[in-house]
Amino acid sequence: MATLREIYRENSSTRAICKMLDGGPLTQTQISAAGDITNGCTCKCLKLLIDEGYVTRGPRAMNRHRTSIGPRPWTYVRTTKPLPETRTTLPAAPTAKELCDIMNSIIRRSMRLT
């Protein structure tokens, strides 16, 4: 499932899609074929990237004969918004004293409420 956390992971499909779109506009089918990503995952990632402003929907694609039978697929274009830094390090684990203080404050708060 594509979530906002995926943008911060280095090897996520959302980042892979952004890197593919840096080369130029592509359709959803072209993205899923080039990145070896399922169509469903590509669709969800594109929706997330559009909502967050990293990708916009471009013009409709033309086939190689410049004719159309039925609706033509949309192309997707990368915006100038930079991707956020990746998070490779985990936050520092709390010490035993900090955990003790947290638990004590929870217990005291629940005792005050009763």
Question: What angle do the packed helices 13-21 and 39-52 form, to 10 degrees?
Answer: 70
Average pLDDT of the chain, as a whole number: 85
**What pTM was computed for the model?**
0.68
Could you read off the pLDDT of 26-71 as tens digits, one per residue?
Answer: 999 999 999 888 999 999 999 999 999 999 998 888 776 666 666 7
Query: Does the domain spanning 4-87 belong to CATH 3.40.50.880?
Result: no
Domain boundaries, the chain: 4-87
SS3 (DSSP) at 86 = coil
Backbone angles phi, psi at 65, to 5 degrees: -95, 0
